[in-house]
Amino acid sequence: MNKITAIRFTKARGKRVNVFLDGRFAFGLEAEVAIKEGLQVGQELSASHIEALARSDHFHRCLNAAARYLSYRPRSEFELKKRLYQRGFDGDCVEAVLAKLKEQGLVDDTAFAQFWKDNRESFSPRSRWLTKLELRRKGVAQDVIDQVTDVIDDDDSAYRAALNKARSLPTSSTTLTVNRKTNHLTNAKTKTSR
């Protein structure tokens, strides 16, 4: 049994604590884990308790990494899983975090696909085919992709893409400008017909 002699917040990151056993640094933990486990100076820890603390800390670090990644925009389950593996988290931990996030409604491929389609239609119109391709690359299941993209109108998307391009070009009525607008509309229409 090892006795906790000190618990100190780290200097670099105030969300972690260093735990000292028998006067020497032993390990670092998320402050949330230390509070949840009720760690106190003078408390004795067995080797199995230390291992359980390490697993809990690993889970919380993985959960915090996932929350940071999701804070920028919604993500598909595939994107999130890939990112967590890239960050070096093990499979069991990643699966546990994904299960928790799904339970809380923070990871939902159907909601993500709907968000992606709506965002594309609003800001950068794409054809049904191209939207399906983007969602497939993000790891969304084919049945979800089909369900979400069935309402995309390719003609309307091409028209809005041409309008967006027309707004970005100078407003002079030269032949060059008319040709550019026409070419863009033709290309947008061609992309949507796939």
* Structural domain harbouring 183: 109-192
| Residue 23 in domain | no
The Cα–Cα gap between 117 and 126 comes to 9
Residue 114 and residue 145 in contact, taking contact as beta carbons nearer than 8 Å: no
Number of domains making up the chain: 1
Task: Report the chain's terminal Cα–Cα distance, integer Å.
Answer: 68
Tokens of 176: 């060059």
Residue 191 and residue 152 in contact, taking contact as beta carbons nearer than 8 Å: no
Q: Tell how far CA 143 is from the center of its chain.
A: 21
| Residue 38 in domain | no
| Residue 186 in domain | yes
| Residue 13 in domain | no
pLDDT digits (tens, 9 = 90+) for 135-178: 999 999 999 999 998 888 877 878 878 887 777 776 665 566 66
Which position has the token pair 């992309």?
A: 191
Instruction: Reduce the DSSP state of residue 17 to 3 states and report it.
Output: strand
Tokens of 10: 């780290």
Sheet order of strands, 2-9 included: 24-30, 16-21, 2-9, 44-45
Residue 106 and residue 70 in contact, taking contact as beta carbons nearer than 8 Å: yes
**What pTM value is reported for the model?**
0.75
| Residue 134 in domain | yes
Predicted local distance difference test score (pLDDT) of residue 194: 53
At residue 97, what is the residue type? V
* Kind and range of the H or E run holding 131: helix 128-137
pLDDT digits (tens, 9 = 90+) for 51-105: 999 999 999 999 999 999 999 999 999 999 999 999 999 999 999 999 999 999 9
Tokens of 122: 């609003």
Pick left, alpha or beta for residue 88 (phi over 0 → left; psi -120 to 50 → alpha; otherwise beta): left
At residue 71, what is the residue type? S
| Residue 176 in domain | yes
* Kind and range of the H or E run holding 23: none
| Residue 22 in domain | no
Q: At what angle do helices 47-72 and 77-86 cross, to 10 degrees?
A: 130
Predicted local distance difference test score (pLDDT) of residue 15: 86
Predicted local distance difference test score (pLDDT) of residue 156: 81
